[in-house]
Amino acid sequence: NAGVTQTPKFQVLKTGQSMTLQCAQDMNHEYMSWYRQDPGMGLRLIHYSVGAGITDQGEVPNGYNVSRSTTEDFPLRLLSAAPSQTSVYFCASSYDGKDTQYFGPGTRLTVL
Amino acid sequence: TQLLEQSPQFLSIQEGENLTVYCNSSSVFSSLQWYRQEPGEGPVLLVTVVTGGEVKKLKRLTFQFGDARKDSSLHITAAQPGDTGLYLCAGAYNDMRFGAGTRLTVKP
């Protein structure tokens, strides 16, 4: 099992550009989520999904879109990148959202 | 304001010392988890505590869940350089919420 995979590992964008961060899991978990990690702020929940076709907002959803067309994949879209979105992004999956969270290796995003 | 407050934010100690880090909230959680994160990687679960007053031991690490299920502590005995990392607590709320973490450095 690969667990949770994320691509790319690193990305540099210019303000206003768009991009999609990819996340996939092979553990057949229903629950998937996206977090951003900033110094002194810990992990903050952006969006989450409790199953294919169902998504909901977390603490900091503004500027981000998600969709969940399959159980395996949960991409995060930045429609118009801003410097405030410079961060490390982690995707996680779990059985039901309140048990063990399995994290991917992260994507380090810099917006210039 | 974070739902979970962790203290201290930074901790630097010598190998062999003992330490305790704290995770506090005004909210009640159905369960609380502790994760460790190493540079360049995602967090990895250490333990889950579910019952108020519960104590769990993992080798030199002792985890305690407060009686009211609002706080938790992590105690490390005889810390080793391999314990260096970011320790995060997470509470099961409507979803899973994380604290800002305690960054521990153990010097040889």
pLDDT digits (tens, 9 = 90+) for B60-92: 999 999 999 999 999 999 999 999 999 999 998
For A:10-49, CB contacts with B below 8 A are: 33, 35, 40-45, 48
pLDDT at B1: 60
pLDDT band at B93 (very low <50, low <70, confident <90, very high): confident
The SS3 of residue A83 is helix
**Cβ of A88 under 8 Å from any chain B Cβ?**
no
Per-residue pLDDT of chain A (112 residues; tens, 9 = 90+): 789 999 999 999 999 999 999 999 999 999 999 999 998 788 999 999 999 999 999 999 999 999 999 999 999 999 999 999 999 999 999 998 888 999 999 999 999 9
Q: Which of B95, B97, B102 to mutate to test the interface with A (most CBs of A within 10 A)?
A: B95
A100 in contact with B, Cβ within 8 Å: yes
Interface of B with A in 6-25 (CB under 8 A): 6, 9
CA-CA distance, B87 to B103, in Å (whole number)? 6
Q: How far is residue B3's CA from residue A112's CA, in Å, rounded to a whole number?
A: 31
Decide if B34 contacts B96 (C-beta within 8 A).
Answer: no
pLDDT of residue B56: 96
The whole-angstrom separation of Cα B56 and Cα B97 is: 21
Contact present, A41 and B5 (Cβ < 8 Å): no
Task: Give the pairing type, strands B102-107 and B10-14.
Answer: parallel
Kindly list the residues from chain B whose CB atom is less than 8 angstroms away from the CB atom of residue A45: 95-97
Q: Would you state the pLDDT for residue B33?
A: 96
Please write the tens of the pLDDT for every residue from B18-76.
Answer: 999 999 999 999 899 999 999 889 999 999 999 999 999 999 999 999 999 999 999 99
Distance of CA A58 to the CA centre of its chain: 11
Chain A residues in contact with B100 by the CB 8 A cut-off are 40-42
Contacts of A103 in chain B (CB under 8 A): 42-44
Q: Which of A41, A94, A103 sits opposite B43 (nearest CB)?
A: A103
What's the order of all strands across the beta sheet hosting A64-66?
A4-7, A19-25, A76-78, A64-66
Instruction: Select from A79, A74, A42 the least CA-distant residue to A62.
Output: A79
pLDDT, position A67? 96
Q: Quick one: pLDDT at residue B38?
A: 93
Q: Which residues of A touch B103 (CB under 8 A)?
A: none
Q: Do B90 and A101 touch (CB under 8 A)?
A: yes
Which of the 8 DSSP states describes residue B82? Answer: G
